[in-house]
Chains A and B, each alone.
Chain A
């Protein structure tokens, strides 16, 4: 009984490592194919459109709302200490350090990651990837690489946009509705938000998240069982794994950056 359980656990463990290995090999092939992006630059641009630009709406709308909620919550807390002038700092630091990268990465996983997996998985299921291989075109370079790099490129921009609109949302609620001083909102923000410690660290986070989410999405699609059920499972896995990876990675990165 115990032996069987152990055996089962061992098998699962092996499977996890095997998939990790395959994912790493795929990643190295994608990175090794970066030069093939040059003659296919239009594909890369096209993917930035479908991965990045099309995610813009959900990012902007969520950013505004998150910023507005931060403004409201921050004000209610700060006003007890008579510190509502600092609302700009609270809103912007929360966004730039944490919520911007994390929430936009989660939204990105749901919007763009799942679409990437489904698209690549379906191409596999309908033998389009096989056909490319037989035409001596490497699908890793032709299909996967442009999507991966487009994701990598778009994610930090999306996070930055998210934070920027969030700050505006906080401004709208704090200054516009609750009567915080206009000048104080901006000047305190300017004084307290550090470029390297806060903004750059946020950017580093969003790059890391973009990397992980697109890597998972592209791998799950490429590794999907080539049936409709397999593709649907792969899509679910992309969303679940990349959300967990983002949150876990966020903790690690935060501990490293702001830990001491």
Chain B
């Protein structure tokens, strides 16, 4: 991999982060190349959403540095952070639409907040983005009237409204039927290539993710356990990669949240609960 500074849009170095006593990330390095689609995969609860929030500067790491577009996110002032965030879009896991506005106003929200465009131009842009996600006809619905999958597509339209440099998708495929899933997969790739964006994709859908990703990071237990192109991972000798790519229950990736042994837990009868 070329180590040209300009080529890497997100550079994470020696990142550590804990929630209480639980170590979520333990000294990890991640590079995301400009113009690529990079997937972050890993078992539920490994901290994929947390990673996106760290990149967005919503959480502060315990140690390590995160750079976005050559600027340090960690330790940036609130004002700097807001400037940086104008260049990133984020699609939240549950959509996070503003519930007091309809679909149209939700997509128009970032445009109205950050630009002085006339209303007619905003209308064109909003309809364009909604058309792209197939929900132009739903523009007068309120968020409460949308299904989960629809809400996520509206959120996608909102995330691309400002044509950011990079978009972070937190599980965009969950709750999509096969048709809209296919459309979304293509959409993410198309948006990425035609607008020259960078996409960071958190997903559990190995087939979809490997179909559009240039690079995949596998996270588990606070470490990057494998990385590479989809093909590379599939053929990799790494047990982690093998287990994850094939969805095997047994292997190095634990299914369980860390706990004392089940037998001890049953036999203890609740003593010593909550130290």
Contacts and interface: CB of A to CB of B under 8 A. Distances in A.
Contact of A131 (B78, B82, B96): B96
Contacts of A130: 53, 58, 92, 96
Contacts of A133: 56, 58, 85
Interface residues of B, number: 24
Contacts of A136: 82-83, 85-86, 110, 113-114
B88 interface: yes
Interface string B56-88: 101000000000000000000010001101101
7 contacts: A123-B98, A126-B99, A130-B92, A133-B56, A133-B85, A135-B110, A137-B114
A135 B94 contact: no
Contacts of B86: 136
B240 interface: no
Contact of B99 (A128, A134, A135): A128
Given A130-B96, A133-B85, 7 more contacts: A127-B94, A130-B53, A130-B92, A131-B96, A131-B98, A134-B58, A136-B114
A127 B85 contact: no
A138 interface: yes
Interface in B105-154: 109-110, 113-114
B43 to A, nearest CB: 22
B96 A128 contact: yes
Interface residues of A, number: 14
B113 A134 contact: no
A123 B53 CA distance: 18
Contacts of B97: 128, 131
Contacts of B114: 136-137
B90 interface: yes
Contacts of A131: 90, 92, 96-98, 155
Contacts of B155: 131
Nearest to A140: B78
Contact of A138 (B82, B88, B99, B162): B82
A136 B56 CA distance: 10
A137 B85 CA distance: 9
Interface string A113-133: 000000000010011101111
A128 B98 contact: yes
Give the most central of B53, B78, B96: most A CB within 10 Å: B96
A136 B68 CA distance: 15
Contacts of B98: 123, 128, 131-132
B2 to A, nearest CB: 30
B246 to A, nearest CB: 33
A134 B83 contact: no
Nearest to B94: A127
A137 B96 contact: no
Interface in A86-103: none
A127 B96 contact: yes
Contacts of A137: 109-110, 113-114
A59 B114 CA distance: 39
A74 B110 CA distance: 58
Contacts of A132: 98
B94 A126 contact: yes
B65 to A, nearest CB: 20
Contacts of A123: 98-99
A130 B98 CA distance: 11
Given A126-B99, A128-B98, A128-B99, A135 B85 contact: yes
A144 B98 CA distance: 15
A25 to B, nearest CB: 12
A214 B99 CA distance: 22
Nearest to B109: A135
A127 B92 contact: yes
A138 B77 CA distance: 13
A128 B110 CA distance: 13
Nearest to A40: B113
B220 to A, nearest CB: 25
A130 B52 CA distance: 12
A134 B109 CA distance: 13
Give the most central of A133, A134, A142: most B CB within 10 Å: A134
Contacts of B94: 126-127
Contacts of A134: 56, 58, 85, 88-90, 92
A132 B58 CA distance: 11
A29 B86 CA distance: 21
B157 to A, nearest CB: 13
B156 to A, nearest CB: 13
Nearest to B116: A39
